[in-house]
Amino acid sequence: MENILADRTKLIDASGIRKVFALAAKLKDPVNFSIGQPDFDVPEKIKDSAVEAIRGGFNAYSQTAGDQQLLDKIRAKSIADYGFQEPSALVTNGVSGALLLLFMSIINKGDEVIIADPYFVIYKHVINMLGGKCVFVDSYPDFKLPAEGIEAAISQRTKLIILNSPANPTGAVYSEQQVKDIAEIARKKDILIMSDEIYDTFCYEDSCPSAANYYDNTMILKGFSKAYAMTGWRLGYVTGSKRIRHIVEQMTKIQQYTFVCAPAPLQKAAITAMDVDMSEYVAAYRKKRDMIYDGLSTKFQITRPGGAFYTFVKAPDWAKSATEFVQKAIANNVLIIPGNVFSEKDTHFRISYATTNAKIAEGIEILCKIAEG
């Protein structure tokens, strides 16, 4: 039965993040900088809304595209944020579900997708599994959006440009000018932009510009997992101008035969979530960002993250690779992720500072001691 597996399974490996996450269960009270999951719980108002929906009988399938009231709310937000007329919308099983539906809808064998390196791990593996080709554009050392490199990477096979801001794993927030530049580059060739904005609530300085504000051939992916700590609820959505409606229709069709719909009672809770003020939580995470940056910058080469809850740190020069440094950190009870999970390089490691301030302080002390060699 060894030959029963499809060839595509050989194109992906088990997530390096999940491997470290599983390791955490075996260690005694580790400093867990590995998993991108908020350390606060879902706000009570949102929990109450979910319970009310369950008790109120909203437990059957929703429409494939999503609960109509939630779709209306998403469309209204799209009109307000981007000025779209007749915006498209689809509720998905997390942003990860949206990624799969989009890639399945547009990528043929040999199609090229341009991605800034470092990148969110799912992009590469799902694109490869579908027969597409990832074209990586180096954004080291400061992780700014490499507009010139992206323009140079465009070919006749380019199907999509991916933007992720605030970014996982770097915490980078692209500037308005950088986003405008990419929008103009895409407009010249009429290339679709996918703007992954799952972390847009966690923007610590100014606003987080979106390509959708400058280019109507942009598909926006957002979700509830990170902003509201609803990671296990699996709720995301896609939206965009009416120009991308034909893509959303195909994504909806594929959803019929895969996910069927997002969890119905939790969609009711998502309606409530969209009106919950999360500024208090964002302020707390801004302080965590400052703690991790100030604490590590004396011993490491580190770029100040502008959003999300990650930082991508260069391993010390004495380490042959970031993986070697990560192994030493884990041996000292600190769980971090080697950069080659998110990059074609192995020079950096990712920290998720979505943990308590006490654990952040403990982790900083341990990592700085290791950095001294």
Does this model's pTM top 0.75? Answer: yes
**Residues 184 and 317 occupy one common structural domain:** no
Mean pLDDT of 348-369: 98
- Name the pairing type of β-strands 218-223 and 31-32: unpaired
- The encoded tokens of residue 187 equal 């407009």
Contact assessment for residue 229 and residue 40, using Cβ atoms and an 8 Å cutoff? yes
Q: Is 101 contained in some domain?
A: yes
What is the dihedral sign for C-alpha 164, 191, 83, 147?
A: positive
pLDDT-derived band of residue 27, with 50, 70 and 90 as boundaries?
Answer: confident
End-to-end CA distance of the chain: 48
Task: Say if residue 124 is in the same domain as residue 190.
Answer: yes
Same domain, 153 and 262: yes
Q: Do 130 and 223 fall within a single domain?
A: yes
Cα separation of 197 and 204, whole Å?
14
Instruction: Report pLDDT for 111.
Output: 98
Query: Alpha helices of the chain — where are they, by DSSP H?
Result: 16-24, 44-55, 68-82, 94-106, 121-129, 147-153, 176-189, 245-256, 264-273, 279-296, 322-331, 357-371
Q: Are residues 250 and 287 in the same domain?
A: no
Give the orientation angle of helix 245-256 with respect to helix 94-106, to 10 degrees.
Answer: 110
Q: Which two tokens stand for residue 1?
A: 């039965």
pLDDT tier at 19 (50, 70, 90 boundaries)?
low
- The verdict on residue 50 lying in a domain is no
Q: Count CB-CB contacts under 10 A for residue 83.
A: 12
Convert the pLDDT of each residue in 175-228 to its tens digit: 999 999 999 999 999 999 999 999 999 999 988 999 999 999 999 999 999 999
Clarify whether residues 204 and 118 are in a common domain. Answer: yes
CATH of the domain at 210: 3.40.640.10
Backbone φ and ψ of 113, nearest 5°: -125, 125
In this structure, the answer to whether residues 169 and 238 fall within a common structural domain is: yes
C-alpha span between 342 and 350 (Å, rounded): 9
Nearest C-alpha neighbor of 204 from the set 126, 120, 304, 298: 304
Q: Who has greater pLDDT, 193 or 18?
A: 193
Domain boundary among 273, 305, 325: 273
| One-letter identity of residue 231 | T
Determine the pLDDT at residue 371. Answer: 96
Q: Is residue 54 part of a domain?
A: no
Edge to edge, what strands does the sheet with 348-352 contain?
301-302, 310-314, 348-352, 337-338
Same domain membership, residue 143 and residue 11: no
Tell me the residue range of the domain where 256 lies: 59-273
At 334, list the tokens.
């600190």
- Residues 88 and 130 occupy one common structural domain: yes
- Cα distances from 285 to residues 51, 252, 288, 355, 364, in angstroms, run 28, 35, 5, 9, 16
Within a domain: 53 = no
In a domain, 48, yes or no: no
* Digit-coded pLDDT (tens) for 122-168: 999 999 999 999 999 999 999 999 999 999 999 999 999 999 999 99
Residue 282 pLDDT: 97
One domain, residues 128 and 255: yes
The domain tally of the chain equals: 2
Q: Answer whether residue 23 shows pLDDT above 90.
A: no
Mean pLDDT, residues 224-241 taken together:
96
Contact 82, 212 (CB under 8 A): yes
Residues 123, 169, single domain; the answer is yes
Domain end, chosen from 220, 241, 273, is at 273
In this structure, what token pair is assigned to residue 80? Answer: 């307000």
Average pLDDT, the chain: 95
Residues 240 and 300 in one domain: no
What are the start-end ranges of the H helices in 3-67? 16-24, 44-55
